[in-house]
Amino acid sequence: MTIKEIENLTGMTRANIRFYETEGLIHPSRNANGYRDYTEEDMASLQRIRLLRTLHISLEDIRALTHGEKELTDTLLSHLVRLKNDETDLAQCREICEKICSDHPDYRSLDAVHYLTLMAALPDSAVPELQEDSLPKVTAPWKRLLARWVDFGIYSLILNCILAVGMHVNIRAGNIGTAFFS
């Protein structure tokens, strides 16, 4: 099958299908002309992936299921526990939001300590916690350094072109600094 056919059969976009291929979740073969050739098994895998992603199963879990590292029932049971915890957290958040709305404060008069105390006093011990807000960690500083070098090279080239063409400075003579003062 072509990617167009697999798009129509699975209801997924071309970008999603290629993403799952790069993630190693499907492995279409290649025709002599280089086009991908999707099998019925690829289509079934994509439909399973679509179902599990619709249920908010993580890609890591789907990858483990695909490679036989996890059982489907175990994965779904642990996901159910997470969903129940999320449901409890959302219900508690909804309750506090409704309380704040009924009190009609504006942003400046919002007594955050009062509502945080109410949240701590909720019956369930799984009070929703603040998600950590932070900048993503730089994982490859050498890439940034290389990018800076490339930028420096491009800017140097542009400056040299301006000096040579626009100001008629002989940049090969090595006396660029003296050209302006003579």
pLDDT digits (tens, 9 = 90+) for 52-67: 999 999 999 999 999 9
pLDDT digits (tens, 9 = 90+) for 19-47: 999 999 999 999 899 889 999 999 999 99
The domain segmentation of the chain, as residue ranges, is 3-66, 75-120, 141-179
pLDDT at 145 over 90: no
The pLDDT score that the predictor gives to residue 102 is 93
CATH of domain 3-66: 1.10.1660.10
Q: Which residues pair with 88 in a beta bridge?
A: none
Q: Which residues of 66-87 are buried (b: 16+ CB within 10 A; e: fewer)?
A: beeebeeeebbeebeeeeeeee
pTM of the model: 0.59
Mean pLDDT of the chain: 85
Confidence bin at 129 (pLDDT 50/70/90): low
pLDDT at 175 over 70: no
The pLDDT score that the predictor gives to residue 134 is 66
